[in-house]
Amino acid sequence: MKFKSISQILLPVILILIQSGCTRDDIDEIDPEKEVFNFIVTDSQLLYINASRGISYEVTDPLPELIFAGDSYAVDRFEIRGDNTLNFTRKGFSINLDRKITLFNPHEQIERKYEEFKLLAMVYDYTYIENSVAVGLFREAGLWPVLSFFTEVRLNGITQGLYHFIEDPFEYFIEQKDASFVIRRGYDHVIKAYSAGPASQDDQQKYIDRFNKIYSDITLYSGRQLYDTLSASIDLEHYFTKLSIDLLLKNGDYTDEIIFYTKIKNGKEVFGFFPWDLDDLFAGQPHEIGNPWAPGRVFGNREYFSMDDVIADVGSKLLFSIEDDLDYKIAGDDYIYREYMKILRTVMGKLDPAIIDRIFDDTFEHIGPFYDDDAIVAQSKYDVNETNYALFTANLAEKRQMLKDRRNWILQELDNQQN
């Protein structure tokens, strides 16, 4: 009988292991933060994009082309987006590609294909750290599942500065999480936008009615009955968690910056929540103060011209804003508010100083390198506040300590109110 040599036996095994055991380290990954989103437009389109003010529109005829990581992508939709940001030179973009772009998602540890995404100009984001910090906190609390990162955007090779890439949340929840319906809430619980999943195209009114029912229920019920009724429609723990982080971040404008999406909880379909457009953080006061048009009207006209007016209405409650009627009801209903405080304490316990430090360290790691590019930093002259590296590091240190101090204050107030 003939025996094979050790090398003859091992070589095929080694080859199989090499072929089947490749890790992410063996693959040339595209680091999107080190690449550039360069859109090719006509000269007249470029001039109009930078010069236009106050209008949302799509760039067409011809549609732009995207050059990214050495590859070319046809663009199906190139929309100039945003509300107040439309009044700035650096525009925000909503993109829909003809074919999906492949990116590695470090949070899911997989590659996924992306067709729709937003590129936010962050013109209100002082030194560009606020979106990063907020996303870190929301992700830590389980409220930010989408891919997002920071990158440079160019038009015809001309830098537009630093942008925040965010996977389109409507597409994400429908395609990745099989959501039946997705809604963006507006002021006075008007539906600003919505999208139905493939199986729900004929049931859209059912979901709209289910959303509207939330705002009729808060007028009909109170206490435990209201809590149980709302729990049949929304993931209250999810919503309380979002309100907790809004309080920590002093989110000055979140009534119309929230997305409702259907999810399954305890075998029942309810609405979950995703935060959106984090462009008014560390605010001095909530948005409803001095804006009589802003508060919801389910409970009649409400006007607040100072924090004293708010306290006179609902007391000293640990919610940053009572602009939306649902939040107003949470602040005013003793039972619901006690349940909210339980979640608030849990969230503050999870977001401890070590987590806050890690989020700020990550922010420095991911945004700091862009400050090495003078051309990118120079674009901040078109923002609300111009920035530089010294301001960037100083703001990081200030906001890091601010969040730790504010967390301690919240915990102390919880002790006072729960006892």
Residue 150 shares a structural domain with residue 203: no
**Do 148 and 281 fall into the same domain?**
no
Kindly state whether residue 7 falls inside one of the protein's structural domains: no
Whether residues 191 and 305 fall in one domain:
yes
CA 278 – CA 245 distance, rounded (Å): 12
Q: Which domain holds residue 399?
A: 26-167+356-419
Of 350, 370, 390, the last residue of a domain is 350
Residues 332 and 193 in one domain: yes
Domain count, the chain: 2
pLDDT at 33: 86
Would 319 be classed as within a structural domain?
Answer: yes
Last residue of a domain, one of 321, 350, 379: 350
Residue 372 resides in a domain = yes
98 belongs to a structural domain? yes
Q: Answer whether 0.85 is exceeded by the pTM.
A: yes
Which residues are bridge partners to 263 per DSSP? Answer: 270
Q: Are 64 and 41 in contact (CB under 8 A)?
A: yes
215 and 111 share a domain?
no
* Model pLDDT, residue 290: 96
Last residue of a domain, one of 318, 350, 382: 350
pLDDT in tens, the chain (419 residues): 333 343 443 444 334 433 433 344 444 567 888 899 999 999 999 999 999 999 999 999 999 999 999 999 999 999 999 878 899 999 999 999 999 999 988 888 889 999 999 999 999 999 999 999 999 999 999 999 999 999 999 999 999 999 999 999 999 999 999 999 999 999 999 999 999 999 999 999 999 999 999 999 999 999 999 999 999 999 999 999 999 999 999 999 899 999 999 999 999 999 999 999 898 999 999 999 999 999 999 999 999 999 999 999 999 999 999 999 999 999 999 999 999 999 999 999 999 999 999 999 999 999 999 999 999 999 999 999 999 999 999 999 999 999 999 999 999 999 999 98
Q: Are residues 343 and 379 in the same domain?
A: no
Alpha-carbon Rg for the chain, nearest whole angstrom, is 24
In a domain, 203, yes or no: yes
* 252 and 335 share one domain: yes
Do 241 and 116 lie in a common domain? no
Helix (H/G/I), strand (E/B), else coil: 162: strand
pLDDT of residue 31: 80
Residues 6+ apart with CB under 8 A from 237: 343
Q: Length of the chain in residues, anyone?
A: 419
Residue 90 counted as domain residue: yes
Give the span between the Cα atoms of 225 and 210, in whole angstroms.
Answer: 18
> Has residue 208 been placed in a domain?
yes
Give the pLDDT of residue 28.
Answer: 55
Indicate if 99 and 238 belong to the same structural domain.
no
Shared domain check, 143 and 40: yes
Residue 235 sits in the same domain as residue 372: no
Residue 136 lies in a domain: yes
Which pLDDT score, from 0 to 100, does residue 11 have? 41
Assess whether 345 and 375 both reside in one domain: no
Bridge-partner residues for 163, per DSSP? 151
**pLDDT value for 107:** 87
